Amino acid sequence: MKYEQRSAPLSYFIFHTSYLKQCIMSHLMELTNITKSYQVGSQVVHALRGVNLTIDEGEYVSIMGPSGSGKSTLMNIIGCLDIPTDGDYKLDGIELSQMSDDQQARIRNQRIGFVFQQFNLLPRTTALKQVALPLMYSGVSRRERNERAKEALTKVGLGDRIDHKPDELSGGQQQRVAIARALVVSPNIILADEPTGALDTKTGDELMEIFNELNDQGITIIMITHDPEVAELSRRQIMIRDGVIVEDSKTGEAG
């Protein structure tokens, strides 16, 4: 028996080509007309006024702006710590507004590592336990928690300080613990809010080298900073003022 060989209709190729193109061109993060307003007494404060921004996987981005410009509000929305008043935010093509609180919490716990200016370390807890803490919330066994925490601390140069408490560590070492805590969940995104703000220049430079190395490994870095010299070390600089992005430039390779 002979079967007639039929070619697929043109509409089939148009659809699948369009779908493939969309997959290839999709962004890690896509923010469209994001606004954020707060009620302060009888006044409404507009922290963000229609922000449009895309960030691709593996980028190293710094966000700058004066106090009150909206940069920290933008960081909180990107990190699923806050929701916009209006607008759309897609992460890997998924609209965040369609996710439950639990789903957004899983994204924070599994995909995003946070590093803050104030190290947010527990005062009487060793570096090992500080770093292992996020894994405990995820139900990881104690043995695996400790192994992964040691690995993360070694990665930031603190393999010989795992039993030290915060008051036994310098400011730079405490921030390294905070970075290790962010890394222990194996995130593909790190959000850093003024990570060098409380450090001297030399220590800050050392920490920036760690961020460069992490970005070279493929981790997307998004950093809030007020320091132009720190921003210049990233591959892309975004300036925000009065809740609006006023400048977005790329500078090639980070150094």
Domain boundaries, given as residue ranges, for the chain:
27-250
- The Cα-based distances of 182 to 26, 84, 113, 120 in angstroms read 26, 24, 4, 12
The pLDDT, as a whole number, for residue 20 is 46
Kindly report, residue by residue over 142-170, the tens digit of the pLDDT.
Answer: 999 999 999 999 999 999 999 999 999 99
Q: Is the pTM of this model over 0.75?
A: yes
Residue 137: is its pLDDT beyond 60? yes
pLDDT of res. 7: 53
Amino acid found at 183: L
Model confidence band, residue 21 (pLDDT cutoffs 50, 70, 90): very low
Predicted confidence at residue 130, as pLDDT, reads: 96
Percentage of the chain beyond pLDDT 70 is: 89
Q: What does the pLDDT read at residue 139?
A: 83
pLDDT confidence of residue 19: 45
Q: Please give the Cα distance from 238 to 34 (Å, whole number).
A: 16
Summarised one tens digit per residue, pLDDT across range 72-107 is 999 999 999 999 999 999 998 889 878 888 888 888
Cβ neighbors of 54 (< 8 A, separation 6 or more) are: 27, 29, 30, 31
Rounded Cα gap, residues 174 and 195, in angstroms: 11
H helix or E strand, kind and range, residue 241: strand 236-241
The CATH architecture assigned to 27-250 reads 3-Layer(aba) Sandwich (3.40)
- For residue 5, the 8-state DSSP code is -
Which of residues 8 and 219 earns the better pLDDT score?
219
- 67-85 burial, b at 16+ Cβ within 10 Å, e below that, comes to eebbbbbbbbbbbbeeebe
Interval 163-199: pLDDT, tens: 999 999 999 999 999 999 999 999 999 999 999 888 8
* Confidence tier at 14 by pLDDT (50, 70, 90): very low
Residue 53: its pLDDT value, please?
A: 97
